[in-house]
Structure 1
């Protein structure tokens, strides 16, 4: 009797372990479209690489769109929806006004629809294209993208605040937001490494240069010489159209240089500097100063991010166009 009970407990434990492991990826899996649209992933890659060849900033653009999508209602492609009438979509929220690359997603989706109608979701197209755009210089995928996401039909600007991490946030706020999405401190630091590519508008950090405490002062945690350089690029008041590299002299190269700059107190955003205010996070920053350390950890964390609150199975829909929900 005791042996049978022991076997039963062991069996139940194994079932729970398998269930928990399956839930880690939100029901997504590798090669989801292997039978329904076997050319899907190659098609996305080829189109993305063609676009990236003429636009070296595409990796930063699409990775940012993917990130902004996943943190608001999960990775459901809701960031791609246009506003309808007076209803403001996520695109209209202030942090999303400078997003770019939507036209590339539209082009990819159009060609994927021609090959496999009503099969591949916009959410998966975005997830794959973001990976492929970043990977273009390496000519190999930088991380695995599990697929099987379905598209959401709700996109509200009002859902963005409180869900999307802010460049002005302190460490505790960042950690709390990431925790709500099932991401830990390690993921927070690793994913911040995405700031190694792309540019930022002056308004996202100008307070650190001119009026950090409301007394016309600079942020003391920002390297003084770097602050002077930034002031020369971003006069006060900030010109909304002016941008600077997030990772100085390395904004087109996906590498570990970002962590070097943070350790030297040259992180552009307040949220970058905040990583050094927590002992555990600062230790991770220090550990990630080489590509060999950063790349595998980024692959793991971005895969984890790509599974946030996904819609799978019969939930959601497969949008025929990424900017609008399907009409019944």
Structure 2
């Protein structure tokens, strides 16, 4: 998908084995949209990923394309601190647009572009959005609240890296993430039907 959107082409190692069990408890190890930055960092560090990986695998790369369901923004837009207020980090210029796109009590079907003005192209535009208060998701906005993740954001936005470096760095982070928890030998299985345990 990224290759079709002017994103980097990169090779992923193949041959991963699938697990035999599925556990709801393990879902809590995944980053969530309303996690504070310290929790996001802890979840990434627990998997051997850095602050740079966190930026590249959330806002920078994974969120440069596509949309999110409006219900994922409702707390941030309408009840951020529990008093019916929006997240104060949202740009005052962006808040009315977000609210008009995702009205209070939006249904689960309504979707919003993650990267305003560039949602169909793989580029570093979303990083500018995050730094200037135009992040759609709370987890992306949280990247500005930590010194290290903010430095990574600003290194791309401020011209510290060329756009080609951004794409190459994203590809490297994707491959690194793909190496987490690889099953070998008799662990797991090679499924005959992808969505079903043998």
Cα RMSD after superposing both structures: 1.6
Q: Which residue of 2 aligns with 1:319?
A: 191
Q: C-alpha displacement at 1:306, in angstroms?
A: 0.4
Partner of 2:70: 202
CA distance in 2, matches of 1:314, 1:207: 44
Question: Aligned partners of 1:208 and 1:141: how far apart in 2?
Answer: 32
Distance 1:195 1:283 in 2: 19
Extract structure 1 runs of 4+ deviating beyond 4 A: none
- Deviation of 1:141 (Å): 5.9
Structure 2: segments with no counterpart, 5+ residues:
none
Q: CA–CA distance in 2 between the matches of 1:231 and 1:291?
A: 31
- Deviation (angstroms), 1:186: 1.1
Question: Structure 1 residue 153: deviation in Å?
Answer: 1.1
| CA–CA separation in structure 2 for the residues paired with 1:212 and 1:314 | 47
CA separation in 2, counterparts of 1:325 and 1:235? 41
Aligned residues: 192
TM-score when scaled to structure 1? 0.56
Instruction: After superposition, give the CA deviation of every residue in 1:117-137 in whole Å (9 maximum; x if it has no partner).
Output: xxxxxxxxxxxxxxxx22134
Q: Which of 82, 104, 108 is residue 240 of structure 1 equivalent to?
A: 108
Give the conservation status (yes or no) of the 8 Å contact 1:222–1:267. yes
TM-score (norm 2): 0.91
Partner Cα distance (2:74, 2:9) in 1: 33
Match of 1:170 in 2: 36
Q: Flag structure 1 segments of 5+ consecutive residues without an equivalent.
A: 1-132
Task: State the Cα deviation string for residues 223-244 of structure 1 (Å, max 9, x = none).
Answer: 1121110111111122211110
CA distance in 1, matches of 2:25, 2:149: 30
